[in-house]
């Protein structure tokens, strides 16, 4: 049983943000009279150094054992106050926060009276919960200073080298015989028109020779278990399975080029209808010759159809693998809804290569929107100077491809800019197709518990703020595995993922949040519902009882909510604590 | 001994680089020329696609910078001189006087409440007013006031009312010299001034505004308290036009920003949707040349903007805007892409999407650092494909929009920020005993 | 310009225009339509659309462009040339188009008259007898003389005379 | 006082149709210290109508005029915007493009001339604004047009293309400043920078008149007392044009009665030199309203 609570309440004016609306002294006065409150004060800025010092002082002088701060949002300030409480010698979890700015002074700006009353309610509720708070300990784990990089494309190799150069051991696995990924299959790269080998070559050479990198080709990830700092992975290599123990994992297994189904634009029917990827090969082999004309069609299998998120919410979040399988199947015919970002430049690049090799060849590019972002505008200009013809066709009416008697191909399209129907007799038709997610991710996603987005690519932890993190601690994503990117963008994300991973490894230890699920073994019947529902694979049924591996638990509370036997509660958010808060709201006298 | 590095520019890219480097174990000196870190992202209302309040997701990172033991914030400061080479740069930083003692001020704002002198509020794109002693915005980091001497009338009132006795009108510029092993530049962008293109009437016609001004108008902490009203008469605009590529994709020598700014199409669609959320029965039309909704989730977002929100997309670049003097409504001349004839429609409000251009003074900084700029005046990558974040000087890197419109949205800036942290850890980390 | 399907597409028309003096502009065009939105003629003549004319050239619809009236609707006021974001040369390209049109015998009466006047007198506009008398009366002296022979030598050498001898 | 000396390029239209333009120039030039030397044997500048027929012919004819000035050792001063544009652009192209220059010189050889890129081209506005200077112009004013609301029509070829004029000077503002030097007010009107329609005069009159009408309507809306031009084409299209528009579009008599003056006429009167009857009568749209000021 916990000792008699002695609660200190600290109410913040937040300059004029709160004080300008709410009568802070009145709220403080009110708080000081609440049961179990030993001390209450208000300050202009509780988060300022002065304010924090006041908290430490009060804890000491009034031997407080609980602290409530009524100010702004925990999202921004809770870590700071917890740290302060800790400095004051208390367990950081003996701290509760009431948000009387965002939820009070800001939203009730024009009703100061009522706002003040609401502030009292919020403080009262916080105090009620504070009384029941218990100390928590944050699990801390060792982090192995080794990393597994899955996929030796430009992103993977860049990430591997960055970590290896920092002195970390890196296992770099590649499903194919040679490193290089899809870039290896390209001929030249925009906008520098450097040969892809000029990029892949040095990287491959470096990863092969680096003493900290163990490159394993023709190797895939067979099994992964464990958690941040301590993943156990089994790698399927040509000479049998190999086990490794790593602190972090970077997923960089790339994407594939979408191949249209046979018959779409006569693909795989007429042999001179090819994809840009195939044209790359033809150009490398110098098999193109000097044709009279080439017609390129953009967005083949891209920006088509639509995936309604609602339709996908039906899937249990744990089974991203199944989700991706369904998406891939559906998309094979219909194409992908997203813009693949790199196809416009890619087409322009090949157009330029053709023109420079054979200026007389007439190159026509049928596009919908030309997405030559950033400085690639100059690249587009260069193509126009070479007299490449850009024709904006009406995408809703797909061009019709037909063989002509004289063995050429006729492309019939509608020009959106003149309203005319145009026919191009051409030798070649080149289809610009998007990058699409790989099936191989299915296994990975399942093993690593990384969610997959509705577009089929792996999900970032936060699309805006954490682009190379995943919501699994210690697992990072880089390159096209999280959506189409060009070479430079993949290299940047490789560096970024390496930076994020190396932080964990350099610090050797990582603390995770103490707010985790707690199983009452007397009530648990081991039905396994929690195991099924958990997105992070924290619960495991052992000997008929659910065991929570705290390090994996993210405290989302799904299991606690689902558990039919009410055997699971959340630390720091126990039912009794929440209910006490609610009671405090409904029964003002407390 | 702990290795030190420097980050120049405290926008989202610089903040990310600083945090990653600090957490990696480096001592980080973060130099910001404005009184607060936060940069452009702090000015935005909401961010696609989560529609999070921009400052609300940025503030925690700003505060993390302020409280991270390894980060030294040098706000209101500028780099004046750099000597040395990779591993040991000697950097002179000029700390401009705030005339407020950083160690004493707790940002209570009482001084500003009492200050009698006002000046246009830069943070609100000069639409609202702020006091001569002010905090750029409520969530500013550090929470320290600054006196703008140009508008200060030396009445001394702030001195009298300050409970922390923090006012120091005698404060002098201070030069600090720092030794760092590597530097990353993240100075961001400025906005092209649309009044350079007279036929769009910016600066002349009241209801022609820029996208950044719109962001502030839509923002709850902005000059209108988040109410979407137009400048001329405070009425709610019912019919709004966005015009893309104002100064972008523009090769005319007196403008000369031939590149695509990369984010305008995307934020315009976002703003259009925000407007619809504010005022559902507003008609929003976006005039564009090529709709560049690339990047994860954007195409899907555009589809929704069309089908769910009924945003109108018109592929035409208007020629000129004139004003109906009686109503201050705007007449936009454009080619109707369906009939291919010239039309003129009336709008209550026109939002121009100006080019994003190199920061003012970036040329001098480049000279000081000895790094090359590209044809447009952005920092130049050592190799745009293989070494996108490196400059021509070993040990000096760049990230975010100062590298040019490398798609330039928030996730990319963050990736680049982390990326430079990776590059620096790569060259200094190995030698360092962390 | 009828919207009939383009039977007679000549893929090298863009090349031809681009390589005619003042014609390079056709390559800078990104079809944004700012020229048309700014064109004073497009406001009064529905079918006049500089942007579309550029597109027709890109498509290679040679006969529609060179035999039509549109190139001759252009005022050469260069508004488009000022406003084209590509610093492009729609207004300039019009000269290339008209030069080519003239070679196809497409030249408006008014232009032909000026051209022939130029060849005969060295001036596109010549004073009436009355005007000459007045000049004297107003004390402006007789009109400045033109060296017609030299002008004609030059115009023969440039084949100008040939171009404008045939009527339209 | 400082004298400025130019080869005087009169062009075709002015001597043929607008002697009142020429006469006023010849009257005020000496007063302002401008020495105008006739260009013996100069030919047509080859305006855009000729440029539309053949590129090379234009450059050759322009080059011939430039050679005449070169032999005089003087820069050229034009009155007409089209002459200005034709000679300026021709000069620029010939100076920059060696290939075409050689071609042209080969042609000029037959008439014993060679383009040496030694001359420059200015317009009267340019000369007044830069060489004479606003101060001297202001000092010459005896009878200022205070309160006169002037719609300035600079004319396209004075201000465009910007790629040539930008940075050097902006014809619009220069002319505005000169007009205001006479005491008049240069008012803003919507279509100020747009074309008068003149270029299509005689080639496609209907289009020309519709374009002119856009301009006149916008000037009317701005309640101007008169229009002031420097280009003889603009003058013709806006002065004579008003009658034609009224006729062809069956508009009421009072629809348009906007006096159109050559800038030099305004300046001349402001300098205290009355117009003669024939000069007043030369205007198709009566200018009495301005004379009464």
How far from chain centre, in Å, is Cα A267?
35
Q: How far apart are CA A225 and CA A229, in angstroms?
A: 11
Q: Which CATH number belongs to the domain containing residue C28 in this structure?
A: 1.10.1060.10
Residue C12 lies in a domain: yes
Establish if D162 touches chain B: CB-CB under 8 angstroms: yes
Give chain B positions within 8 Å (CB) of A506. Answer: 24-25, 425, 429, 434
Q: Number of helices (H) and strands (E), helices first, in chain A?
A: 16, 30
Distances (CA, A) of D212 to B334, B419, C134, D229: 21, 60, 29, 14
Q: How far apart are CA B242 and CA B250, in angstroms?
A: 18
pLDDT band with cut points at 50, 70 and 90 for residue C167: very low
Considering the domain architecture, whether residues C77 and C33 belong to the same structural domain is answered as yes
A359: exposed, middle or buried (C-beta count within 10 Å: 0-12, 13-18, 19+)?
A: exposed
Considering the domain architecture, whether residues C17 and C80 belong to the same structural domain is answered as yes
Q: Token match 């304010």: residue? A: A51
The reported pLDDT for the residue numbered B431 is: 46
- Tell which of C59, C82, C103 closes a domain: C103
Three-state DSSP string of A290-304: CCCEEEEECCCCCCC
DSSP code at position D131: I
What count of residues does chain B have? 434
Look at C58 and A362 and tell me if their CB atoms are within 8 Å.
no
- Tell which of C81, C103, C125 closes a domain: C103
Q: Number of helices (H) and strands (E), helices first, in chain B?
A: 9, 24
List C residues 1-40 in contact with A (Cβ-Cβ < 8 A): 3, 5-6, 9, 11-12, 14-15, 18, 27-31
- Tell which of C53, C75, C103 closes a domain: C103
Q: How far apart are CA B114 and CA B98, in angstroms?
A: 18
Give chain D positions within 8 Å (CB) of B254. Answer: 162, 166-167
Residue C15 lies in a domain: yes
Size of interface C-D (CB pairs under 8 A): 187
Considering the domain architecture, whether residues C90 and C125 belong to the same structural domain is answered as no
Q: How far apart are CA B107 and CA B116, in angstroms?
A: 18
Lowest mean pLDDT among A142-146, A316-320, B304-308: A316-320
Domain holding C10, by residue range, is 6-103
User: Domains (ranges, CATH) in chain D?
Assistant: 4-122 (1.20.1050.140), 142-291 (3.40.50.11810)
pLDDT tens string B116-170? 999 999 999 999 999 999 999 888 999 899 999 999 999 999 999 998 899 999 9
Asked if the model's pLDDT at residue A161 lies above 80, the reply is yes
Establish if D15 touches chain C: CB-CB under 8 angstroms: yes
Return per-residue pLDDT of chain D as tens, 293 residues.
Answer: 567 999 999 999 999 999 999 999 999 999 999 999 999 999 999 999 999 999 999 999 999 999 999 999 999 999 999 999 999 999 999 999 999 999 999 999 999 999 999 999 999 998 999 899 999 999 999 999 999 999 999 999 888 777 666 445 455 688 999 999 999 999 999 899 899 999 998 888 999 999 999 999 999 999 999 999 999 999 999 999 999 999 888 877 667 889 999 999 999 999 999 999 999 999 999 998 888 87
Q: Do B206 and B231 meet the contact criterion of CB atoms below 8 Å apart?
A: yes
Cα dihedral B205→B208→B210→B213 (10° resolution)? 90
Residue C121 lies in a domain: yes
Count CB-CB contacts under 10 A for residue A436.
26
Q: How far apart are CA B116 and CA B152, in angstroms?
A: 9
Establish if B342 touches chain C: CB-CB under 8 angstroms: yes
Establish if D223 touches chain C: CB-CB under 8 angstroms: no
Look at B252 and D190 and tell me if their CB atoms are within 8 Å.
no
Residue C75 lies in a domain: yes
Compare CB distances from B411 to A75, A167, A463 and report the shortest one's residue: A463
Compare CB distances from D207 to C73, C111, C134 and report the shortest one's residue: C73
Is the confidence metric ipTM above 0.90 for this complex? yes
Q: Please report which residue ranges of A89-228 form alpha helices under DSSP H.
A: 112-131, 154-165, 196-209
Q: Measured between CA atoms, how close is C31 to chain A, in angstroms?
A: 8
Q: How far apart are CA A315 and CA A327, in angstroms?
A: 12
For a pLDDT cut of 70, what percent of chain A falls above it? 96
Considering the domain architecture, whether residues C118 and C93 belong to the same structural domain is answered as no
- Averaged pLDDT for residues B100-105: 92
Give chain A positions within 8 Å (CB) of C52. Answer: 417-418
The reported pLDDT for the residue numbered A407 is: 92
Considering the domain architecture, whether residues C127 and C94 belong to the same structural domain is answered as no
pLDDT tens string D200-259? 988 889 999 999 999 999 999 999 999 999 999 999 999 999 999 998 888 776 678 899
Choose among A206, A15, D192: nearest CA to B144. A15
Asked if the model's pLDDT at residue A163 lies above 90, the reply is yes
Q: How far apart are CA B252 and CA A440, in angstroms?
A: 49
Considering the domain architecture, whether residues C74 and C130 belong to the same structural domain is answered as no
Q: How far apart are CA A427 and CA A406, in angstroms?
A: 11
Residue C1 lies in a domain: no
Give chain D positions within 8 Å (CB) of B253. Answer: 163, 166
Q: Token match 């600066």: residue? A: B203
Considering the domain architecture, whether residues C96 and C135 belong to the same structural domain is answered as no
Sort strands B88-95 and B396-398 into parallel, antiparallel or unpaired. unpaired
Residue C29 lies in a domain: yes
Count structural domains, chain C: 2
Establish if D252 touches chain B: CB-CB under 8 angstroms: no
Considering the domain architecture, whether residues C28 and C11 belong to the same structural domain is answered as yes
Q: How far apart are CA B426 and CA B276, in angstroms?
A: 47
DSSP code at position A164: H
Considering the domain architecture, whether residues C75 and C120 belong to the same structural domain is answered as no
Answer positive or negative: Cα dihedral of C32, C38, C40, C44. positive
Look at D207 and C118 and tell me if their CB atoms are within 8 Å.
no
Q: How far apart are CA A261 and CA A256, in angstroms?
A: 15
Within 8 A by CB and 6+ apart from A278, the residues are none
Q: Do A344 and A312 meet the contact criterion of CB atoms below 8 Å apart?
A: no
Give chain B positions within 8 Å (CB) of C37. Answer: 316-320, 333-335, 342
Q: How far apart are CA A429 and CA A296, in angstroms?
A: 6
Q: Measured between CA atoms, how close is A356 to chain C, in angstroms?
A: 15
Task: Write down which chains contact chain A via at least 3 CB pairs under 8 A.
Answer: B, C
Q: Token match 């990830």: residue? A: A221
Choose among B126, B274, B409, D276: nearest CA to C137. D276
Q: Which H/E stretch holds residue D202?
A: none
Q: How far apart are CA D111 and CA D115, in angstroms?
A: 12
Is there an interface between D and A (3+ Cβ pairs < 8 A)?
Answer: no
Considering the domain architecture, whether residues C33 and C95 belong to the same structural domain is answered as yes
Asked if the model's pLDDT at residue A353 lies above 60, the reply is yes
DSSP code at position B327: T
Q: Measured between CA atoms, how close is B323 to chain C, in angstroms?
A: 16
For chain B, the first-to-last Cα distance in angstroms comes to 9
The reported pLDDT for the residue numbered C168 is: 36
Residue C64 lies in a domain: yes
Q: Please report which residue ranges of B84-128 form alpha helices under DSSP H.
A: 110-114
The two three-digit tokens of residue B36, written as one number: 């607060």
Q: How far apart are CA B434 and CA A506, in angstroms?
A: 6
Asked if the model's pLDDT at residue A314 lies above 50, the reply is no
pLDDT band with cut points at 50, 70 and 90 for residue A589: low
Considering the domain architecture, whether residues C85 and C155 belong to the same structural domain is answered as no
Distances (CA, A) of A487 to A149, A159, A341, A494, B414: 18, 13, 12, 10, 18
Establish if C141 touches chain D: CB-CB under 8 angstroms: no
Q: Number of helices (H) and strands (E), helices first, in chain D?
A: 16, 8
Establish if D251 touches chain C: CB-CB under 8 angstroms: no
Considering the domain architecture, whether residues C95 and C122 belong to the same structural domain is answered as no
DSSP code at position D132: I
């Amino acid at each position: 049983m916990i000792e008699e609570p002695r609660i200190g309440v600290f109410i913040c004016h937040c300059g004029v943000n709160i004080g300008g609306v709410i009568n802070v002294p009145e709220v403080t006065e009110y708080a000081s009279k609440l049961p179990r409150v030993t001390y209450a004060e208000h300050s202009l800025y509780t988060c300022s150094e002065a304010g924090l010092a006041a908290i430490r002082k009060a804890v000491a002088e009034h031997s407080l054992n609980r602290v409530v701060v009524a100010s702004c949002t925990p999202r921004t300030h809770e870590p700071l106050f917890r740290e302060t409480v800790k400095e004051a010698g208390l367990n950081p979890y003996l701290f509760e926060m009431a948000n009387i700015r965002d939820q009070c002074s800001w939203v009730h700006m024009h009703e100061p009276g009522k706002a003040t009353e609401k502030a009292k309610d919020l403080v009262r509720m916080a105090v009620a919960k504070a009384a029941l708070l218990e100390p928590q300990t944050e699990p801390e784990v060792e982090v192995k200073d080794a990393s597994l990089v899955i996929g030796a494309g430009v992103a993977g190799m860049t990430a591997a080298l960055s970590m290896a150069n920092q002195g970390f051991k890196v296992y770099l696995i590649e499903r194919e015989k040679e490193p290089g990924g899809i870039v290896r299959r390209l001929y030249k790269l925009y906008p520098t028109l450097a040969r892809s080998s000029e990029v892949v070559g040095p990287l491959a050479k470096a990863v092969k020779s680096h003493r900290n990198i163990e490159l394993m080709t023709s190797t895939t990830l067979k099994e992964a278990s464990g958690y941040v700092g301590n993943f156990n992975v089994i790698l399927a290599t040509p000479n049998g399975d190999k086990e490794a123990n790593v602190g972090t994992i970077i997923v960089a297994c790339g994407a594939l080029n979408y191949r249209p189904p046979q018959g779409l634009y006569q693909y795989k029917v007429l042999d001179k209808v090819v994809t840009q990827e195939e044209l790359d090969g033809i150009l490398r082999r110098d098999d193109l010759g000097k044709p009279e004309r080439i017609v390129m069609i953009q967005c083949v299998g891209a920006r088509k159809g639509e995936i309604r998120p609602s339709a996908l919410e039906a899937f249990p979040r744990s089974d991203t693998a199944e989700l991706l399988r369904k998406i891939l199947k559906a998309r094979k015919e219909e194409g992908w809804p997203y813009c693949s970002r790199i196809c416009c430049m890619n087409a322009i690049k090949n157009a330029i290569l053709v023109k420079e090799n054979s200026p007389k060849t007439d190159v026509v590019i049928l596009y919908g929107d030309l997405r030559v972002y950033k400085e690639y505008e100059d690249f587009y200009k260069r193509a126009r100077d070479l007299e490449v013809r850009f024709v904006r066709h009406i995408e809703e009416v797909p061009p019709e491809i037909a063989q002509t008697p004289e063995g050429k191909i006729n492309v019939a399209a509608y020009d959106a800019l003149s309203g005319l129907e145009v026919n191009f007799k051409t030798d070649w038709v080149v289809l610009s197709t998007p990058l699409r997610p790989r099936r191989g991710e299915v296994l990975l996603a399942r093993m690593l518990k990384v969610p997959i987005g509705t577009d089929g690519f792996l999900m970032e932890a936060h699309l805006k703020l954490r682009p190379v993190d995943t919501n699994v601690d210690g697992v990072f994503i880089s390159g096209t595995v999280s959506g189409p990117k060009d070479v430079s963008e993949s290299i940047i994300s490789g560096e970024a993922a390496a930076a994020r991973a190396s932080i964990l490894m350099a610090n050797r230890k990582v603390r995770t949040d103490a707010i985790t699920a707690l199983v009452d073994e007397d009530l648990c019947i081991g039905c396994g519902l929690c195991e099924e529902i958990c997105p992070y694979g924290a619960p495991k049924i052992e000997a008929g009882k659910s065991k929570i591996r705290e390090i994996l638990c993210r405290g989302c509370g799904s299991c606690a909510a689902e558990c039919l036997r009410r055997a699971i509660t959340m630390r720091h958010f126990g039912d009794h604590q929440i209910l006490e808060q609610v009671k405090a709201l409904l029964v003002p006298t407390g | 001994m702990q290795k030190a590095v420097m980050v120049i520019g405290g926008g989202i890219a610089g903040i990310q680089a600083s945090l990653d480097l600090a957490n990696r174990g480096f001592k980080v000196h973060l130099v910001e020329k404005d009184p607060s870190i936060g940069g452009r992202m702090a000015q935005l209302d909401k961010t696609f696609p989560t529609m999070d309040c921009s400052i609300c997701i940025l503030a925690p990172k700003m505060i993390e910078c302020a409280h991270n033991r390894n980060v030294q914030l040098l706000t209101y400061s500028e780099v004046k001189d750099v000597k040395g080479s990779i591993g040991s740069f000697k950097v002179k930083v000029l700390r401009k006087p705030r005339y407020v003692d950083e160690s004493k001020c707790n940002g209570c704002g009482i001084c500003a409440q009492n200050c009698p002198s006002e000046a246009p509020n830069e943070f609100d794109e000069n639409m609202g007013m702020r006091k001569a002693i002010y905090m750029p915005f409520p969530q500013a980091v550090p929470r320290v006031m600054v006196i703008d001497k140009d508008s200060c009338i030396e009445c001394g009132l702030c001195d009298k009312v300050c409970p922390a006795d923090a006012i120091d009108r005698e404060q002098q510029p201070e030069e600090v010299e720092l030794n760092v092993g590597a530097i990353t530049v993240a100075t961001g962008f400025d906005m092209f001034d649309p009044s350079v293109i007279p036929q769009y009437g910016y600066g002349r016609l009241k209801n022609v505004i820029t996208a950044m001004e719109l962001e502030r108008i839509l923002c709850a902490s902005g000059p209108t308290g988040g109410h979407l009203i137009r400048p001329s008469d405070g009425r709610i605009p019912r019919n709004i036009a966005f015009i893309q590529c104002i100064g972008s994709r523009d090769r005319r020598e007196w403008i000369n920003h031939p590149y695509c700014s990369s984010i305008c199409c995307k934020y315009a669609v976002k703003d259009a949707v925000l407007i619809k959320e504010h005022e559902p029965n507003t008609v929003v039309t976006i005039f564009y040349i090529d709709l560049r909704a690339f990047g994860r989730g954007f195409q899907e977002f555009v589809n929704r903007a069309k089908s769910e929100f009924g945003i109108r997309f018109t592929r035409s670049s208007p020629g000129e805007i004139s004003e109906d003097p009686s109503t201050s409504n705007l007449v936009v001349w454009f080619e109707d892409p369906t009939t291919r004839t010239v039309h003129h429609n009336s709008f209550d409000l026109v939002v121009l999407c100006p080019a994003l251009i190199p920061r003012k003074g970036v040329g001098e900084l480049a000279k000081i650092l000895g790094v090359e700029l590209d044809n447009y005046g952005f920092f130049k990558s050592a190799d745009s494909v293989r070494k996108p974040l490196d400059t021509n000087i070993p040990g000096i890197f760049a990230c975010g929009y100062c590298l040019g419109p490398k798609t330039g949205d928030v996730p990319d800036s963050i990736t680049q920020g982390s990326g430079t942290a990776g590059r620096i850890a790569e060259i200094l980390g190995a030698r360092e005993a962390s | 310009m009828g919207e009939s399907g383009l039977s007679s597409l000549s893929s090298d028309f863009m090349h031809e225009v681009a390589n005619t003096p003042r014609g390079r502009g056709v390559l800078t065009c990104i079809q944004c339509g700012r020229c048309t939105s700014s064109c004073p003629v497009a406001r009064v003549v529905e079918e006049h659309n500089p942007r579309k004319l550029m597109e027709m050239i890109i498509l290679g619809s040679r006969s529609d462009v060179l035999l039509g009236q549109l190139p001759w609707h252009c005022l050469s006021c260069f508004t488009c040339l000022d406003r084209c974001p590509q610093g492009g040369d729609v207004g300039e390209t019009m000269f290339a188009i008209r030069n080519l049109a003239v070679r196809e015998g497409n030249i408006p009466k008014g232009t032909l008259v000026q051209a022939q006047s130029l060849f005969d007198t060295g001036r596109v506009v010549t004073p009436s007898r009355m005007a000459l008398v007045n000049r004297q009366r107003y004390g402006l002296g007789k009109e400045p003389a033109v060296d017609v022979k030299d002008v004609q030598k030059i115009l023969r050498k440039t084949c100008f005379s040939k171009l404008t001898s045939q009527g339209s | 006082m400082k004298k400025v000396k130019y080869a005087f390029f009169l062009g075709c239209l002015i001597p043929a149709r607008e002697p009142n333009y020429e006469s006023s120039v010849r009257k005020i030039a000496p007063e302002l210290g401008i020495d105008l030397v006739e260009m013996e044997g100069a030919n047509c500048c080859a305006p855009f109508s000729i440029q539309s027929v053949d590129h090379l012919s234009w450059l050759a004819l322009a080059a011939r005029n430039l050679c005449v000035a070169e032999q005089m050792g003087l820069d050229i001063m034009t009155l007409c915007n089209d002459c200005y544009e034709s000679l300026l652009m021709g000069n620029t192209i010939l100076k920059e493009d060696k290939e075409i220059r050689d071609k042209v010189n080969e042609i000029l050889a037959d008439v014993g001339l060679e383009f040496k890129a030694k001359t420059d081209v200015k317009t009267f506005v340019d000369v007044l604004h830069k060489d004479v200077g606003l101060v001297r112009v202001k000092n010459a004013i005896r009878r200022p047009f205070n309160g006169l609301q002037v719609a300035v029509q600079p004319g396209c070829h004075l201000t465009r293309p910007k790629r040539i004029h930008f940075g050097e000077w902006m014809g619009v503002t220069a002319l505005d400043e000169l007009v205001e030097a006479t005491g008049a007010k240069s008012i803003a009107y919507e279509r100020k920078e747009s074309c008068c329609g003149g270029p299509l005069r005689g080639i496609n009159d209907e289009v020309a008149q519709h374009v002119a009408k856009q301009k006149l309507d916008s000037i009317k809306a701005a309640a101007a007392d008169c229009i002031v031009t420097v280009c003889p084409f603009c003058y013709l299209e806006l002065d004579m044009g008003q009658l034609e528009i009224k006729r062809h579009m069956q508009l009421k008599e009072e629809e348009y009665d906007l006096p159109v003056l050559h800038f030099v006429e305004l300046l001349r009167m402001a300098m205290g030199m009355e117009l003669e009857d024939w000069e007043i009568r030369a205007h198709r749209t009566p200018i009495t309203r301005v004379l009464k000021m």
